[in-house]
Amino acid sequence: MKWCVKNCSGDANGSPDAGATHYRPSRWHHPYASDAAKLPRMESQHTESHDRHELIARGIITRDGAILVNRSRNEKTGEEYCALPGGHIDPGESCPQALRRELQEELECDAAVGDLRFVSESIYPGRRRSETHRHEIVLLFEARLTGELRERDGQILSPESNKNFAWLPLEDIAGANLLPRAMRDFLLTFFSQHASAEHSPLYAFRDDTAS
């Protein structure tokens, strides 16, 4: 695969990402997605740790001009935020395999996972009271629910009590506190009528702990 490098600078607030380097491929293919089922599944070793990278797979899932998000709250500040559905990649899983598992666990719904669209790397103080430092690498894939989403009275049901899924209109993405922030900025470009995959950056880094 050939790679193009695009250096870009942001404003003092890091929008889209101050001093970041964005990377994009001149062409992209997904050579291993079909082999995901062949990989052995190992027991999750995920624990609370501040000294390692968190590797996460998330999905772009849309319906009727809206994108699926999970609403949550920062335990430290009380600030509301939202994130795309998905979760940690367990040892022995491929990224598409992990995303399908997470969607099944969170929504009890099967999904088809498509192409990788974006990679966000970010360092921040963490949102849980027990955290002082967190380093996340999030891989964002296009995805499509192939099963029926469970809903009642306009609410999306989840077997996990801490989940609060909702449909966020695409026109509201710009004003949403969607994290990681670089991913929100990517989605604004991704859903723009004038955007194309060829001109969208594939990678962005943001450090919110730097002085």
pLDDT at 195: 55
In tens digits, the chain (211 residues) has pLDDT values of 333 333 333 333 333 343 343 444 433 344 334 444 444 443 444 444 445 679 999 999 999 999 999 999 988 778 899 999 999 999 999 999 999 999 999 999 999 999 999 999 998 776 666 767 779 999 999 999 999 999 999 899 999 999 999 999 999 999 999 999 999 999 999 998 655 555 567 888 878 876 5
pLDDT tens digits, one per residue of 86-131: 999 999 999 999 999 999 999 999 999 999 999 999 987 766 667 6
SS3 17: coil
pLDDT at 81: 94
Of residues 72, 102, 71, the one with CA closest to residue 86: 102
pLDDT at 193: 61
HSE (side-chain half, CA atoms, 13 Å) at 8: 20
CA distance 78 to 15: 23
pLDDT tens digits, one per residue of 4-18: 333 333 333 333 343
| End-to-end Cα separation, the chain, in angstroms | 36
pLDDT at 53: 79
| pTM beyond cutoff 0.75 | no
Domains and CATH numbers, the chain: 57-194 (3.90.79.10)
CA distance 16 to 6: 13
CA distance 62 to 44: 29
